[in-house]
Copies of this chain bind each other. A is one copy, B any other.
Amino acid sequence: MINFEALFRISYGLYIVCSGDKKHGNGFISNTVFQVTAEPPKFALCCSKKNFTTELIKETGAFSVSVLHIAASPDLFGRFGYRSGKDFNKLEGINVQYGESTGVPIVLNDSIAFLECRVIQTVDVGTHLLFIGELLHSGILDDAKDPITYLYYRQIRKGAAPKNAPTYIDKSKLEPIIRATEFKKYECTACGYIYDEAIEGKKFTDLPPDWVCPSCGTAKEDFIEVNN
């Protein structure tokens, strides 16, 4: 038997992974970046085959990783985590430098460190690809802040994984929690964040019109009521 709650006990950081070049760059929020060898330093990165950035990594053979800090802006999660770069330039207005070895964009906003890697192996694991990259270049951007973890994002900031994430879990698979309540719930149509009146202690309709999703920054009007 699989208990899906157990999967949430595996620890991850949160990163903006980018690829492409100055003309056509894109990035997405990833939680599956990890070192696989020390000599030489190599990193594995897991990407949905459906992600636009995956196409760019295949084309350029390179990617960057920006390590987000614990207070990273919800706008960054909204922009890079829950929208597609196919019809929207995610890097417009973002503070970017370009990799000294590969030319890939590297997001600097709310990032404490970065890696620049060249792909040396690609492994098909089903719905996702594992890119194995050799580290070419890395640096510290902010030495004072801690990296954000996926646990912190879920528990404290109440964020949810987008559907293309390796760690996405269909809520119907989790154990049902029985609550006797008259309160309503509203779901963010961009990221799946649930505003639960029973937890928040305030009616959704009483929130100000400029209120935005605390997880991804989507407007209040893009929430829909969901069944308890």
Flag A29-41 by CB within 8 Å of B: 1 or 0 each: 0001111111111
User: Is A10 interfacial (CB-CB < 8 Å)?
Assistant: yes
User: Is A127 interfacial (CB-CB < 8 Å)?
Assistant: yes
Give the shortest distance, in Å, between A129 (CB) and chain B (any CB).
Answer: 9
Q: How many copies does the complex hold?
A: 2
| A175 nearest CB neighbor, chain B only | B140
- Chain A residues 122-148 with CB under 8 Å of chain B are 123, 125-128, 130, 132, 135-140, 146-147
A167 to B39, CA, bound (A): 10
Pair B32/A32 contact, Cβ less than 8 Å: no
Pair A138/B2 contact, Cβ less than 8 Å: yes
Pair A149/B11 contact, Cβ less than 8 Å: yes
Pair A11/B9 contact, Cβ less than 8 Å: no
Interface residues, chain A, CB within 8 Å of chain B?
A: 1-7, 9-13, 32-44, 46, 65, 67, 112-115, 121, 123, 125-128, 130, 132, 135-140, 146-147, 149-151, 165-169
Additional 19 contacts, C-beta under 8 A, given A6-B114, A44-B125: A4-B138, A6-B115, A6-B138, A6-B139, A7-B138, A9-B13, A10-B33, A11-B12, A32-B34, A34-B166, A36-B128, A38-B166, A40-B126, A42-B125, A44-B46, A44-B130, A123-B123, A123-B132, A125-B132
